[in-house]
Structure 1
Amino acid sequence: MKYTTAAEAVRLIQSHSSVYIQGSTSIPETLVRAMADRAGELTDVKVYSAFAVGAFDAPYCQPENRESFLVNSLFVANNIRRWLAEGYGQTIPAFLGEIPAMFRDGTLPVDVALLNLSCPNEEGYCSFGVSADLAVSAAECAPTLIGQINKAMPFSYGDAVIHISKLAAAVEVDDPLVEVPTAVPTEVERRIGNYIAEMIPDGATLQIGVGGIPNAVLAALKDHKHLGLHTEAMTDGVLPLIESGVIDNSLKSVMPGISVASLALGSRRLYDYMDYCKELVMKDVAWTNDPFRIRQNPKVMAINSAVEVDLTGQVCADSVGTRIISGVGGQHDFMYGGALSEGGRTFIAIPSTTPKGASKIKALLTPGAGVVTTRHMVQNIVTEYGVAQLRGRNLAERARALIDIAHPSVREELEREAAERFGYSFLRLKH
């Protein structure tokens, strides 16, 4: 492979084509900036972006480039959220695990994939490093692959490898990956984490997300045994459990002995751990998030978060009213797969209130709020006030359980709303 400049490499992008940009903490920023610099030469380039943590606002999404780049977000990331809220792009609703099939069957055609890759190994293979997720399928489908070969990218095993000969152009960079600070759990988050950890048995397989509550759960699992990891996102929080042997993957049915993830986001310590680590594989998100593969593992514990929950158990996790702030991701996939798993349990973990003091448990969802996990699928809602076990309960019983874990300041109001909605079937229920 002969290396070239970023400006020369992105000349392979043509007007009216479609471009996939790799995500996670590995947006190929050098290539993205070079592409944006060509805005005056390009028209109607459709851009697919996915779950990502960007170091900068996405230049292609800014108002002055609105005729050059048509942004179709597959998950509203921080680097484009503001511009999409102002109408300079749109989001495509889809389960993250189903998007690879849309690339493969042509529903979402991909002409060019911009990739952030590790340095090649002795056989000439580069790794997608921290971002297998959609990058595997996009690279498989796009006829033109442009890579920035990045000294900062770890080499990870699994689906996330590609031979350098597959690249139409390559640029050498040494760009640090975005680091996501490990969230230190608050007292509220620790209480939520402890409630969940008490319900996780030894030998369980974990799917766990990002933030203070997941870290609180992980910290509370230090005395557990023989846990497994099969997750969408891998974070720093799992490292102490792997290093201490609590996560040994010995009882998993799918890839026993191996930690499985589709993307990673964390500190340099996590990225260094991943580099040439044979006890970890990074897989296509269509593989990790397949509910029928997830269910094959024993005692799957799926732990996810939400923006708000209504009294029947409907979960909004991707919007504040009509404003889309993220995406469905793998919540549905793991909630479903976890529910089907033998001995599996699923959790929606939320503080009872927002940072501004508004209740996250509401009589009705905010108008325009999207339902990510339906009332038919939810099992356990957890706040700092306890666990509402909803599985098998009728709507009035669900309302009673959710009010009991809501913030005390809103319980009386929620009682009135529930009584009006469910009548005697709610009133007859005692605390």
Structure 2
Amino acid sequence: NLQGLWNNELKPAWYSQYTTNINVEMNYWLAEQTNLPECHMPLFDWVENLARVQKKSPDPALKTDKGWIIYSTNNTMGGTSGWHIHRPGSAWLSQHFWEHYAFSGDTAFLKARAYPLLKSITEYWASHLVTGKNGKLITPDGWSPEHGPGRNEKDVSDYPGVSYDQQIVYDLFTNYLEAAHVLQVDKDYCTTIETMRNQLLGPQIGKWGQLQEWMDDVDDPQDRHRHNSHLFAVHPGRQIRPLSTPDLARAALVSLNARGDKSVGWSSAWKINLYARLRDAMRAYALVQRLVTPRDLKNNGYSDEGGSYPNLFGVGPPFQIDSNFGYTAGVTEMLLQSHTGELDLLPALPTTWPEGEVSGLRARGGVTVAIRWKNGVLRQALLTADRTGMVTVRYGGQVKQIRLVAGHQLHLNPYLR
């Protein structure tokens, strides 16, 4: 939750709740890639219980014919404070189930837990989407956390085709289709969902080169809001990629640069991940430095500068543990990525880290990775696979198909040989 087990207040900020428009998800971004999948499991238990509670809720705002939706804030038992309906929240949470399979290859988990959840939420969105004025499928009643489109955070209203919703639904449909393909099930329904995914309103580039936050081109280049909800497709999604969708990636950078670096801790942590995915190593490094900048406890600990308290806890404000966990995930993304289907070595290595090494990281596909570099250049990568098979490895402009044997360590040099 927001403070984790380190909370020391009887009435903590935001009631130390589970907030699903980024915070609880950020707390678990590092679980798979830092080889701590067992730490992911309690989240799955909580989400499955949350689903049961929401489906039984008498609240008319939560009533659905298929699937289930949630509010932005929830508690340990699955109850809610009722602060703003968050329709894509369950879809975002479902991403974690898919990611656990993607890293582990655990088909028993995929079949018994991930796939039923993904399908249930997919059925909700398949029934909820409408055709917009542009002929594309859109969500009719969205919101860009915690930004509007109202004049302030308490003045929010339903907004059709908001980019945040669109990108999460695209991610959900993609994860569902890949899960169904692995399990070889529901082929007819998959055809329906694939057709709908292709009809979704996708990311749009606006008049000042930005990635639009809204369906209409109304973004303000002076906006410094802490949330980057319209960049979900960059991270933790995988719809926008510098190497395969370069125009959209450039637009995402324009939007991210416009928001600026100054923000609270968890927002800075998200930006590390975003810049890493966009392969802007030095901007990611600047945010790393911001998050480890010491801050004192004056003004009750509140600061919009980010940074760390004397005990290294991230400045929320006043304190949120997601800042620390999101930072760790971001540094990992700078050193290793695998969301594109390739094992990408040192994709966002800053020049300020000319020499170093890392071990024990995990890539999707069940590969454990150690990397050593010197003078800013890869010296050696050690890959150990859970399963025998082919993997695509990228380092800079080099890409090679490499066969890994389960349990055997493969040494690669800078030429991927």
Shorter-chain TM-score above 0.5? no
Higher helix proportion, which one?
2
TM, length-normalised to structure 2: 0.27
Higher strand proportion, which one?
1
Task: Say which one has the larger Rg.
Answer: 1
TM, length-normalised to structure 1: 0.26
